Structure 1
């Protein structure tokens, strides 16, 4: 009996030492493949809101309603689940959940290829939509094009050298930096984004054939396994 008690304490100690996963991951499933996204701990308001909605099943059945190749794919509009609002030719993108999320800009987080970011309307505080998001496909830039962006669309904001190297070698959408909150990144399945971005669409950038999604929050065990692989 004493040995069993000692073994139980040892197991409890190991579990306690192991602790919870360092990061939370979610999986987005579509007919064009799946991707796994790590949500950033540096943007807790956006992270926790996305997890809350995903656990409720909010995103299940919503569409990627706006796709632009070499730029991004956008989804999460609750109106895209309404049959009356998803008829051919109907414009989506105005649906919301009745609240916004304060901007969480971080100098170390930028619009590199594969990041998850919050959509928003035109508001002075640059507060994010409570539900709509986009995933960056992006494209590669030259130093000359980055210089031009700094003096025009970025209004003097200087892109750090290490971020420049990323934009030149991997790609992204640098003109959105410090304007839209980035709060996660694809760690597996970026080809899903490429496939969706390449579909045929109408003049409003809506896919001609609906691209629906399912979003699930990964278990603690799955998150720990991914942490061990990635970090």
Structure 2
């Protein structure tokens, strides 16, 4: 091969090598938008909802907590009267200060709306009218929501069953200690009173206005079981200062 040919091939080889050295380097591949979204979705799906706190559960009264609850409730209670509006008008009850559990219970139930739309379900002529019960689902539902409990009798505070006294009956179910049924009450209409009830039941207040309404309720016709022939409603019970 002559020198011209050798020079020509040498020139071509140098140009080829120079071109390889100047080629751009390959850049690192960045994540695709779909990949980023996929990673984000995994984080979101892994979030765990907090468990419900016991503080969020509704409070229910029981045999175990009722006394402690009303002991504390009575410390801040300012309401000491309850106005009851019935089918025959309204009357107002003044509560005794020294019967704290029963008085506080009555105010608490009134504020909870328990007595609203219940009945005077027992009327005994010239003796008592008894209220706080009803044979409807609403009353049963409210009792379940408030709780199941009884209160100890407290008949040694010097209060007697004079006419106009409001008192709490005892539960009739498995109750050898005459514990009080907190959802019901009775009012004495006997003149001057029904003193044979003293020591057996707990007087916790007296009617201070509207005793004529109580008497009118007591005059209503009843069946053989002392249940009024027509429902006598307690439309509303309102606790007052």
- TM-score range for the pair, normalised by the shorter chain length: 0.5 to 0.7
TM-score, structure 1 normalization: 0.63
Paired residue for 2:15? Answer: none
Task: Give unmatched runs, 5+ long, in structure 1.
Answer: 1-19, 86-95, 140-170, 221-231
CA distance in 2, matches of 1:21, 1:129: 21
Structure 2: which 5+ residue stretches go unaligned? 1-75, 141-145
Q: Aligned-residue CA RMSD in angstroms? A: 2.4
Matched position secondary structure for 2:170: coil
Structure 1 residues 202 and 84: alpha-carbon distance in aligned structure 2, compared to 1, 3 A threshold = farther
* TM-score (normalizing by structure 2): 0.61
Is 1:199–2:195 an aligned residue pair? no
Match of 1:45 among 85, 101, 104: 101
- Alignment partner of 1:138 is 2:190: yes
| Larger Cα-atom Rg | 2
1:54 matches 2:110: yes
How many residue pairs were aligned?
158
Higher relative contact order (CA 8 A, sep 6+): 1
Show the counterpart of 1:25.
Answer: 81
Runs ≥4 residues deviating over 4 A: 20-23
**Pairs within 5 Å for 1:75-224:** 75-77=131-133, 79-82=134-137, 98-122=148-172, 123-139=175-191, 171-213=192-234, 214-218=236-240, 220=241
SS at match of 1:29: strand
Q: Give the 3-state SS of the residue equivalent to 1:192 in structure 2.
A: helix
In the alignment, the residues of structure 2 paired with residue 186 and residue 200 of structure 1 have an alpha-carbon distance, to the nearest angstrom, of 23
| Distance change (3 Å), C-alpha of 1:58 and 1:22 | closer
